[in-house]
Structure 1
Amino acid sequence: MARLRDPEHGCPWDVAQDFASIAPYTIEEAYEVADAIQRDDMAGLKDELGDLLLQVVFHSRMAQEAGSFDLSDVITVICEKMVRRHPHVFGDGGASPGWDEIKAAERAEKDDGDHSALAGVAVALPALARAEKLQKRAARVGFDWDNVEDVRNKILEEMEEVSHAVGSEALEEEIGDLLFAVTNLARHHRVDPETALRRANVKFERRFRAMEAMAGTDFPALALDDQEALWQAVKAAEKSAGRD
């Protein structure tokens, strides 16, 4: 990476990058790691972990050039953090605080003036993942539904509000509230909403491509009822094959 970033002899593209321009690639590579895991593709996972590691090296190199820190510092910091957050493993064997308590103490030490229970939840997270984290933080201080039935009722309430929304802005707001409530339902069922939606995407794509294969080039011209019949046929075939 030092050679790639060399102003005279490096790669012009690599030299031109900064933290902001590389950040989207870092996020993309993390998702590709998750995709390889979901597909149980070990060869792919090895490749994607390398791509993700490159992102860490890239950011660290740019920071080193700026005189802030280098890759060695990054590794040292995470090692220290893991030791600090696992006193039951690296400590003297006595009673120790839990992970959440240790993280809360670390946030308090930073004392950036934000003492909210929601402090530190990254704004740049995907909206679905951030919604879940916000809800978990709120739940820690008692702001949570008592049971799953209350969450279901909230979803029904939000669906009703969507149906009565007037105007694009109001509709956007109400659909956002609905998605937030659905995320809450997933959390109460201990289901990761990001993973659930990703798998739903995979299932939809698989079934849609099967429909296209069944109909061939005539698929776009089919009436909706005929397309729906193909969809049901694909679902029935998957069910008979033991795949839901």
Structure 2
Amino acid sequence: MTNNLKQQIDTMPPRRQEQLLAFDRLLTIMDELREQCPWDRKQTMDTLRHLTIEETYELSDAILEKDLNEVKKELGDLILHMVFYARIASETNSFDIADVLNGICEKLIARHPHIYGDVVAETEEKVKQNWEQLKLKEGNRSVLGGVPQSLPALVKAMRIQEKARGAGFDWEEKQQVWEKVEEEMQEFKQEFNLNGGPADDTEAIDRQKAEGEFGDLLFSLVNYARFIDINPETALERTNKKFIKRFQYLEEQAKASGKNLKDMTLAEMDVYWEEAKRVL
């Protein structure tokens, strides 16, 4: 350690010094595991990839459950993965963790000229617009080029719309967006002949076109959710969790009554379902 670096660390607040020591401890452990543990030695970026995705979803679950202790644990798992990738890259002299951290620091400074430069951006919306314009200057061919292809479709729809808005392509009023939802709903209904005709007449339905109309409807609903500041992914996941709890209550109550769901009528199951709605 150079004298200058030591002086910088010595002048830091005690807690920041503790944070740096904790990160150094993790780096040391990572080095030891990579050199001594058979499993850790065997890992590559490709073998870690699916585990990183799993850890990200576990963090997402902990956040939705508002379990801060679990959030802390999952953040640790993800930080370990980031350090692991950097350690693997360092073995081929591609980059190391210092390059990773300095790279994100430089990007944050460059992307925030209203903080580190002379650009004025007094609203969140203006910050987002500046962000997208800067990304284009950095070499992105399209505003939408930064949306990962492997994102789940619902999340991807939200990100596409946010980025389009950052470029100034968006509706002006939420009523306009809702009218678009109603328009897409009507077009979807027409594809399935829901306004009339035999209920089982499915032969004439163009499934590919109907699927397209359903996709348009979902996209417009995501757009409206964004306009009223609702995250559709979070909203749907909360509904998923709510449904699971209520359905499990239904299963438990049926079992306690000596009944099997397969042998129950929908009306019988609905009694327990309504109970679940009251108690959960």
Which TM class, normalised by the smaller chain length?
0.7 to 0.9
Q: 1:146 aligns with which of 172, 182, 185?
A: 172
Q: Distance in 1 between matches of 2:169 and 2:227?
A: 13
Q: How many residues align?
A: 231
Seen in structure 2, the aligned counterparts of structure 1 residues 177 and 101 have a Cα distance that, compared at 3 Å, is closer
Aligned residue number for residue 223 of structure 1: 265
Q: 2:151 aligns with which of 96, 120, 125?
A: 125
Counterparts of 2:138 and 2:162 in 1: how far apart (Å)?
Answer: 21
- Kindly provide the CA deviation profile for residues 153-174 of structure 1, in whole angstroms up to 9, marking residues without a partner as x: 3223333333415344334323
Aligned partner (choices 225, 250, 258) of residue 211 of structure 1 = 250
Q: Note if contact 1:158-1:178 (Cα within 8 Å) is conserved in structure 2.
A: yes
CA-based RMSD: 2.6
Q: Is this contact kept in 1: 2:132–2:163, CA < 8 A? A: no
Tell whether 2:76 aligns with 1:50.
yes
Q: Distance in 2 between matches of 1:147 and 1:36?
A: 35
Kept in 1, the 8 Å contact 2:136–2:143? The answer is: no
Percent of aligned pairs with the same amino acid: 38
SS of 2:76 mapped into structure 1: helix
Q: CA deviation at 1:132?
A: 1.0
The structural deviation recorded for 1:189 is: 0.7
2:202 aligned partner:
none
Report SS of the residue matched to 2:145: coil
Code of the residue aligned with 1:228 in structure 2: it is D
Which whole-Å CA distance do the structure 2 matches of 1:154 and 1:101 have between them?
24
Q: Are 1:33 and 1:48, in contact at CA under 8 Å, matched by a contact in 2?
A: yes
1:200-241 superposed Cα distances (whole Å, 9 cap, x missing partner): 111111111111122115233211222223222221334xxx
Contact kept in structure 2, 1:207 and 1:231, CA below 8 Å: yes
Q: TM-score, normalised by structure 2?
A: 0.71
Superposition pairs for residues 38-187 of structure 1, below 5 Å?
A: 38-87=64-113, 89=115, 96-97=120-121, 99-112=127-140, 114=141, 116-163=142-189, 164=191, 166-187=205-226
Bigger-Rg structure (1/2): 2
Cα-to-partner distance string for 1:43-77 (whole Å, 9 max, x where unaligned): 21121111111111122122222322111111112
Deviation per residue, 1:68-103 (Å, 9 max, x gap): 211111111222333344455556xx6545533542
Counterpart Cα distance in 2 of 1:162 and 1:46: 44
Alpha-carbon distance between aligned partners in 2 of 1:134 and 1:225, rounded to the nearest angstrom: 42
Greater CA deviation, 212-221 or 39-48? 212-221
Whole-angstrom CA distance in 2 between matches of 1:197 and 1:36: 16
Structure 2 unaligned residues grouped into runs of 5+? 1-29, 193-204
The Cα shift of 1:184 comes to 0.7
Q: Tell me, in whole angstroms, the C-alpha distance in 2 between the residues paired with 1:82 and 1:214.
A: 54
Which gives a bigger RCO, structure 1 or 2 (Cα 8 Å, sep 6+)? 2
The counterpart of 2:38, out of the listed 11, 14, 18, is 11
Asked if structure 2 preserves the Cα contact closer than 8 Å seen for 1:162 and 1:174, the reply is yes
Q: What CA deviation, in whole Å up to 9, does each residue of 1:129-181 have, x standing for no partner?
A: 21111112222344323332332332233333334153443343232222211
Contact 1:85 1:99 survives alignment (8 Å): no
The amino acid of 1:33's aligned partner reads L
Seen in structure 2, the aligned counterparts of structure 1 residues 51 and 151 have a Cα distance that, compared at 3 Å, is: same
2:231 to 175, 184, 192: 192
- 2:63 is the alignment partner of 1:37: yes
Compute the displacement of 1:15 (Å): 4.2
Name stretches of at least 5 consecutive residues in structure 1 with no aligned partner.
239-244
Counterpart of 1:242 in structure 2 is none
1:235 and 2:263 matched: no
